[in-house]
A and B are shown apart, each in its own frame.
Chain A
Amino acid sequence: MFDMDAMREAFFIVFALDTVIFIMIGVVVGISVGAIPGLAHSLPIALVLPFSFVLPIHQTMGLLLGTYKGGTYGGSITAISFGTPGTSGAAATVADGYALTKLGKGKKALEMGLYASVTGDVLSDLALIFLVVPIGMMAPRFGPAELSALYFLALSLVVVFSTENPGKGILSAGIGFFLAIIGRDILTGGLRFTFGVRYLEAGFPLVPLLIGFFAVPEIIKQFKEIISKPEQSGIVGEVAERILSLKEEGLTLKEFIGSWRGLGLGTIIGTLLGALPGPGATLCSYTAYSVTSQFSKDVNYGKGALEGVATAEAANNATCGATFIPLLTFGIPGSSIAALLMAALIMEGVPVGPRVVVDHTVVVYTLFLLLLLANPFNLLFGKLLIPVYSKLTKIPAAILWPVIAIVLVIGTYALNNRPFDIVICLIAGLIGYFFKWFKLPDGPLVLSFLVTPLFEANFRQALTISRGDLTYFFASGISQVLWIVTVATIILFVRKRRKTEGKIAGD
């Protein structure tokens, strides 16, 4: 039931000057750290977590939520400007965002990234407020069998939609699967494909892998251009005047509205998948990106379309509000960041669980309002930083790329203070270069890398529960729907492909 008195109390808490200042600090910190490749935005959240011992709950949560939202958006800035995702969630933004920057439309892409992020974020927050109970009721119905079917669906979508050549999509997914299983077995602890390397026992860490996979090939390419084509890389020293004199066109309202499919699908998929424990922002943005590719009318989708940026960013940020749905209804943190936020709430004396809405109504309403209030600040500070970043992309390659390479190496090391992460980042970079060279799609690799541990855990759990009976995977209504959607999507895709090929042959 809606409690008007609690809402009034929460309103006065949130719209106080101190809370607003903490949200602003959080957003600025989040955007800045999110834009540094290698530093996941869980790092600043973890750093400000101890403040919950000294600050009141509204200030702590304002700071944390501001950091979370700013960081989720901030990852797209470097993804669009330099093809280097600041956070793993922004990896799906690279393809279209960086292609647009190379076409001289970096400002448009950055603005689309910002507006799509804020749109996805606001709608997801509203979904949280209005759907917290109904969606929360659905979440526990997803047992191991249903989750296996869901992850299989997500993987199939990306493989079939991501490429013109199905062989390349399957190969990419296979490599992602393989990289994900390196390390200890999740149930028995047996070592798989570690080749005696002690550091590999913990497996391939996600952030160094993604940062290396996307950024290192671009760094190699840029250094090659600087060395082999000096006349094209710009003369060192003639920088400032050239940068300051450049003016780029911004995003028009027509272009923003024109990407409604991407915005809508990104927000819906991001909110729905984000409400489930496990998937996270990266998986949501890749799934939404692949689904939209089938509905987009833009021929440049995947090669420099604003709709691609809109989809990935809307889905990425739509997980911000949605991640609170399982947290506030069942006390289940859906991601590592949700776990940190849950820890902050517990440290503030709020026991997160099914009764939190009833026992701490004011706190829950305060959270809702804080989530909503962080969005305009995200928009404001994002907008202020766009001109800076769009000018940074005009710096000659000989100056810019060594600095990016250095920040990348330190950022990768700083994440876990583990030198071997740098090696993993570089190995991932070589794999990424092979992908670029052989024109393999990156989506299946990233998604299968993320999904494999979740899929394997749920699949084996389901097999244990059912004592090896495979019909268990098709027993519930939810699994049946998910399997039907998977098969139907593959059939539709094959038919559509045949039709397109027939048309091309006819022409």
Chain B
Amino acid sequence: MITFRVTLNVKIGLLIMILSAAAFIWTYFMPLRSMELFIPRISLGLMGFGGFLIMLKDFLESAEKIFEPSREKILPYLIGVPAAMWLYGWSFRNIGLLTSTFLFLTIWWVSISIRDAKRTETMQSVTPKILKLAALAFLITASVQLLFIELLNMYMPRTFLP
């Protein structure tokens, strides 16, 4: 017997269907030739059809077979990690490759070392660890400079710091 359930899959499938249908209709109001819109319409059609099939599968599948995506909280990391990566990309072009690489690695490792030391109650031995990690950050920074700037001749805009 078919029992209709509104699972997360159904909601996502429905959302994809609505969005692709809206975009499909929108293509008819675009100032482009029909040939230029042929593949875009196929792509939107496929997305809509895919969303419909995902929805349908959960409607028809027995409850124990349904896969539900994880509801674990990930949003802060989804925003934070790409933002930090973008910030690093911005900083090495505007501040300097050596400075920003060294700072990014050192700040991260120092904060993690302090957290670990607090957790394991080994604060007395954290300074030598931090020094070692700063040395490692320096070594990696130098390797990055050597590889990308000296060997591969990567273009770098003029920056205030190295």
A interface residues (Cβ-Cβ under 8 A, vs B): 36, 39, 43, 47, 165-175, 177-178, 181, 185, 187-188, 190, 192-193, 216, 219-220, 223-224, 226-227, 230-231, 235-237, 398-399, 402-403, 405-410, 413-414, 417, 419, 422-423, 426, 429-430, 433, 437-439, 452, 455-456, 460, 463
CA distance A30 to B136 in the complex (A): 26
B74 contacts partner chain A, Cβ-Cβ < 8 Å: yes
Q: Collect the chain A residues with CB atoms within 8 Å of residue B5's CB.
A: none
B interface residues (Cβ-Cβ under 8 A, vs A): 12-13, 16, 20, 32-33, 35-40, 42-57, 67, 69-70, 74, 77-78, 80-82, 84-86, 88-90, 92-93, 97, 101, 104-105, 108-109, 112-113, 115-116, 119-120, 129, 132-133, 136, 140, 144, 147-148, 152-155
Closest 4 CB pairs of A and B: A167-B53, A171-B50, A174-B46, A177-B43
Residue from the set B43, B109, B115 with the largest chain A CB neighbour count within 10 Å: B43
- Which B residue sits closest to A32, measured CB to CB? B147
Report yes or no: A409 in contact with B88, Cβ–Cβ below 8 A.
yes
Q: Collect the chain B residues with CB atoms within 8 Å of residue A437's CB.
A: 69-70, 74
Report yes or no: A410 in contact with B116, Cβ–Cβ below 8 A.
no
Report yes or no: B40 in contact with A192, Cβ–Cβ below 8 A.
yes
Report yes or no: B86 in contact with A423, Cβ–Cβ below 8 A.
yes
Q: Collect the chain B residues with CB atoms within 8 Å of residue A173's CB.
A: 46, 50
Q: Collect the chain B residues with CB atoms within 8 Å of residue A170's CB.
A: 46-47, 49-50, 53
- Which A residue sits closest to B55, measured CB to CB? A167
Candidates B32, B40, B51, B115; contact of A167 at CB < 8 Å: B51
Q: Collect the chain A residues with CB atoms within 8 Å of residue B89's CB.
A: 409, 413, 419, 422
Q: Collect the chain A residues with CB atoms within 8 Å of residue B93's CB.
A: 413, 419
CA distance A414 to B140 in the complex (A): 17
CA distance A99 to B84 in the complex (A): 27
Chosen A-B contacts, 8 in total, with CB atoms closer than 8 Å, are A167-B52, A172-B50, A173-B50, A175-B47, A227-B77, A414-B148, A439-B67, A452-B39
Q: Collect the chain B residues with CB atoms within 8 Å of residue A236's CB.
A: 109, 112-113, 116, 129, 133
Report yes or no: A406 in contact with B78, Cβ–Cβ below 8 A.
no
CA distance A235 to B88 in the complex (A): 25
- Which B residue sits closest to A463, measured CB to CB? B35
Report yes or no: A414 in contact with B39, Cβ–Cβ below 8 A.
no
Report yes or no: A224 in contact with B74, Cβ–Cβ below 8 A.
yes
Report yes or no: A168 in contact with B54, Cβ–Cβ below 8 A.
yes
Knowing A220-B78, A230-B116 touch, does A410 contact B92 (C-beta < 8 A)?
yes
- Which A residue sits closest to B62, measured CB to CB? A505
Q: Collect the chain B residues with CB atoms within 8 Å of residue A429's CB.
A: 82
Candidates A172, A406, A408; contact of B101 at CB < 8 Å: A406
Report yes or no: A43 in contact with B40, Cβ–Cβ below 8 A.
no
Report yes or no: A406 in contact with B116, Cβ–Cβ below 8 A.
no
CA distance A224 to B57 in the complex (A): 32
